[in-house]
Amino acid sequence: MKRIGILTGGGDAPGLNAVIRAVVKRAVGQLGWTVMGCEDSFNGLLDQLRVRELTLASASGLLQRGGTILGTTNRGDPFHFRRGGEKAARDRGGELARNTRELGLEGLIVVGGEGTQKMGYRLMQEHGVRVVGVPKTIDNDLDSTDLTFGFMSAVACATDALDRLHTTAEAHDRVMILEVMGRDAGWIALYAGLAGGADGIAIPEIPYDPDVFCDKIRERGREGKTFTLLAVAEGALPTDCAPLDSSGTVKAGGAGVQLANELAKRIDAEIRVTVLGHLQRGGSPIAFDRILATRFGVKAVDLIEAGRWGEMVCLQGTHVEGIPMTDAIGRPRLVHPDNELLAVARATGVTFGDRRGVPAR
């Protein structure tokens, strides 16, 4: 009988609990293994006291529950660990490996984004701890998987917000800007913008010219539409703007406020900004994500059963597969200029703030 550990790291995403549930249902309920849950990403494993057995009973009712019962953190790297007063960072990888052994764990299921996967991989490479990865990124910006759980729940949340802003924008003849998550990749803005009927979408991959959005607003005015809806990823920037990291003061207020300010310089309109923020991470996962998370959890156990340590679960087309973790770590998955959804958005009249017309496709 195997004995494995599981932990969740990085920002939370709807569906984390559904992964945990599927792992327990499959490993404990069907295969008779023991599953130990480590609290707060790798931190619980550093402190052996915060590792507990996950029984079938503890997995009950998790499918629809947001967050993660194991807790998570996006602070701290066990390989550069520093607590409160400590001056220098320590490498605690050896401790992690020792604790894994002492707990009798054959290996770990590491559920998390790229940072967490890298830590898991390093633990395997440097300390021989066997690891299987399950990808988590609410922004959908992992290159190795077509989709991850949590993303469509975030899109649903942002779409609902656009629906709400739609009615109040229309009543007040306003330009309504919704800022959604997406620091490097504009997936949520693109999907939710399409689903919520945004007239313009600003994403990090396409620097925008504020005048193009103004043209759109005026064009709508000529068609008798006195309001406009814009979806903006938090990482979107105007063409003439220094990127955020070169000067922290450039984007006081975030991408939404910045776009609003640019528009206000150019047109006379009532402009309002809403920053959706943490609401996108919270709440019960939608059906789509519950299913995807369950598939991922079952696959992770299957990989372990087949001795395929060092692999990460991923979705390729309609199939859930295992690929080497090394393939999974690398550059983020960005919205490509030839992306089909981008083209579909343009084809239905959505502008991305660039001068590019409708693609030939």
Whole-angstrom distance, CA of residue 81 vs CA of residue 64 = 34
Where do we find the tokens 């939710």? Answer: 192
Residue 116 in contact with a second copy, rule: CB under 8 A: no
Residue 341 in contact with a second copy, rule: CB under 8 A: yes
Q: Which stretch binds a second copy (CB under 8 A): 97-105, 114-122, 129-137, 191-199?
A: 191-199
Residue 130 in contact with a second copy, rule: CB under 8 A: no
Q: Tell me which residues in 266-295 interact with a second copy (CB under 8 A).
A: 270, 272-275, 277-279, 281-284, 286-288, 290-291, 294-295
Whole-angstrom distance, CA of residue 211 vs CA of residue 351 = 11
Q: Tell me which residues in 65-94 interact with a second copy (CB under 8 A).
A: 65-68, 71-75
Q: Of 209 and 289, which CB lies nearer to a second copy in the complex structure?
A: 289
- Count of beta carbons in the 10 Å neighbourhood of residue 299: 24
Residue 242 in contact with a second copy, rule: CB under 8 A: no
Residue 204 CA neighbour count, 13 Å, CB half: 21
Residue 302 in contact with a second copy, rule: CB under 8 A: yes
Amino acid occupying residue 219: E
- Closest Cα to residue 313, out of 11, 2, 1, 26? 26
Residue 141 in contact with a second copy, rule: CB under 8 A: no
Residue 246 in contact with a second copy, rule: CB under 8 A: no
Q: Tell me which residues in 155-174 interact with a second copy (CB under 8 A).
A: 155-157, 159-161, 163-168, 170-173
Which residues of the chain form beta strands (DSSP E)? 3-8, 34-38, 51-53, 107-112, 131-135, 174-180, 200-202, 228-233, 270-275, 311-316, 319-324
Q: Kindly state the smallest distance separating residue 244's Cβ from a second copy, in Å.
A: 18
Q: Kindly state the smallest distance separating residue 180's Cβ from a second copy, in Å.
A: 12
- Count of beta carbons in the 10 Å neighbourhood of residue 164: 14
Residue 361 in contact with a second copy, rule: CB under 8 A: yes
**For this structure, is 338 an active site residue?**
no
Q: Of 263 and 301, which CB lies nearer to a second copy in the complex structure?
A: 301
**How is the chain split among helix, strand and coil, in percent rounded to 5?**
40, 20, 40
Amino acid occupying residue 133: G
Binding to a second copy by CB under 8 A, coded x per residue (else -) over 18-47, reads ---xx--xx--xx---------x-------
Active site residues: 139
